[in-house]
Amino acid sequence: MTKKSANPKKKNANYDYDVIIIGTGPGGEGTAMELAKKYKKVAIVERHKDVGGGCTHWGTIPSKALRQSVSRLIDYNSNPLFRGHEKAKHLTFPDILKHASSVIHKQVQLRSGFYDRNRVEHIVGEASFIDEHTLKIVKDDASVDELSARQIVIATGSRPYKPADIDFNHPRVYDSDTILSLKHDPRSIIIYGAGVIGSEYASIFRGLGVKVDLINTRDRLLSFLDDEMSDSLSYHLWNNGVVIRHGEQIERVEANDDAVIVHLESGKKMRADCLLFANGRTGNTADLNLQNAGLKADGRGQLKVNDQYQTTVSNIYAVGDVIGYPSLASAAYDQGRLAASAMIDNQSTAKLIEDIPTGIYTIPEISSVGKTEQELTEAKIPYEVGRSQFKHLARAQITNSVVGSLKILFHRDTKEILGIHCFGENAAEIIHIGQAIMQQKNGGNNIEYFVNTTFNYPTMAEAFRVAALNGLNRLF
């Protein structure tokens, strides 16, 4: 229930803004742009001087920029065209950070322009609730403002989970945010947590020639993926020299001037130049004084919302990582847009698409949309499989990107596409061709589309035609 407030502005319905949004990541940006285009008076509050949130400064953008640099380095060193002519190139982590910093700067400029053009006021400061309509804003110079709005959106994102018994202030201990401040060139690294972030950084560091120990707290990598995709990643990391230890838990971390020693509950010990702790994230709600607005976060710092992204307090909405699943930048932007529509028209029924694509930027990439084989088998849905190996595609041979495959799962009777899973270079791009067909209604979602259409040749998109023919040939 909404708390009653003694705020006189609330009594008179005389607010400073129609909407105040806390956070400038994808969720906050999506909300702000949609509201501004509907002529609402909007302010966006950001604790840092530059917009973009964790996505731009510590998460999605920098890690993918790092990955791109390392991928190109691997291409160069493995391409037979250059072999024997030049010495293999070596780049350090600080070297590739320069490219990431350039991309971050361009993204900040771009996104700042969005707010300026749409007349969204950008307020720099730390926001917390006074009541459900009023925020306290503490600025860098320690001055304090009070701002009110008819509606408030929490889009504060998430931060790395940091156990209290690990000294993250030690110069050899990092989380997925602080790893971007790594200044030296480590020869070895231990990565604890083999989720998306841990697996991506394992690829990055191994691509730089760093010895990598990847500790997985579960029994397989990225268990939410189709088993074949998970197995492909495990094999590829293993084949490139990453040591993966499944089903392990940290007991304690011993960090000194020379190295980090990780003690596992199983009795194993590992030593490396540094540790990257990448095991879980927490919603950024601890500093918001949620109780003043009548809200309460769960144990992971996340807020519960309804189908319209409305919290238990009717005028307060929340989007992005702070509400949990799916915790994707792409989804957060759409959640913000949908929340804005609901704030303008509370009868809005618009929702996220059911099949949200997943892009995992390991080397090579993994991308999936729809159901996995395990899910279809458990649901007793009669499906068939069509496969295409990249090594058989002319374009993959030309670009020397022969590692990978595309798998299409489709209904044996209706030929409806049920899931698509891709492992290989540019998988996150390739997947969207199949996703577009899966979204077609009235019989348009049919694997025969890929047989009946004509693809450019040579292209990676041709994998869909090859996989479709492979799957249809299995029918009888």
Q: Is 280 annotated as a binding residue?
A: yes
Spatial contact of 415 and 446, defined as CB atoms under 8 Å apart: yes
Q: Is 156 annotated as a binding residue?
A: yes
Q: How far apart are the first and last CA of the chain?
A: 59
**What's the 3-state SS for 340-408?**
HHHHHCCCCCCCCCCCCCEEECCCCCEEEEECCHHHHHHCCCCEEEEEEEHHHCHHHHHHCCCCEEEEE
Q: At what angle do helices 196-207 and 227-239 cross, to 10 degrees?
A: 30
Q: Is 404 annotated as a binding residue?
A: no
Q: Is 354 annotated as a binding residue?
A: no
Q: Is 327 annotated as a binding residue?
A: no
Beta carbons within 10 angstroms of residue 451's beta carbon: 13
Alpha carbon of 272 to those of 212, 253, 345: distances in Å?
9, 11, 55
Q: At what angle do helices 93-117 and 60-78 cross, to 10 degrees?
A: 140
Q: Is 193 annotated as a binding residue?
A: yes
Spatial contact of 472 and 409, defined as CB atoms under 8 Å apart: no
Q: Is 30 annotated as a binding residue?
A: no
Helix, strand, coil % in the chain, rounded to nearest 5: 35, 25, 40
Instruction: Give the Cα separation of 127 and 135 in Å (integer).
Output: 6
Beta carbons within 10 angstroms of residue 115's beta carbon: 21
Distance of CA 455 to the CA centre of its chain: 31
Work out whether strand 188-192 and strand 274-277 pair parallel, antiparallel, or are unpaired: parallel
Give strand ranges (E) for 103-196.
121-124, 126-131, 134-138, 144-154, 158-160, 173-175, 188-192
Q: Is 52 annotated as a binding residue?
A: yes
Q: Is 185 annotated as a binding residue?
A: no
Give Cβ neighbours of residue 473 (< 8 Å, ≥ 6 apart).
none
Alpha carbon of 344 to those of 17, 27, 35, 339: distances in Å?
14, 17, 8, 9
Q: Is 46 annotated as a binding residue?
A: yes
Q: Is 451 annotated as a binding residue?
A: no
Q: What is the phi-psi region of residue 267: left when phi exceeds 0, alpha when psi lies from -120 to 50, beta otherwise?
A: left
Q: Is 53 annotated as a binding residue?
A: yes
Quote the Cα angle for 303-308-311, to 5°.
30
Q: Is 154 annotated as a binding residue?
A: no
Q: Is 54 annotated as a binding residue?
A: yes
Beta carbons within 10 angstroms of residue 80's beta carbon: 7
Q: Is 48 annotated as a binding residue?
A: yes
Q: Is 267 annotated as a binding residue?
A: no
Q: Is 307 annotated as a binding residue?
A: no
Q: Is 130 annotated as a binding residue?
A: no
Binding-site sequence positions? 46-55, 64, 156-158, 193-200, 280, 321
Binding-site sequence positions for NAD(+)? 193-200, 280
Binding-site sequence positions for FAD? 46-55, 64, 156-158, 321
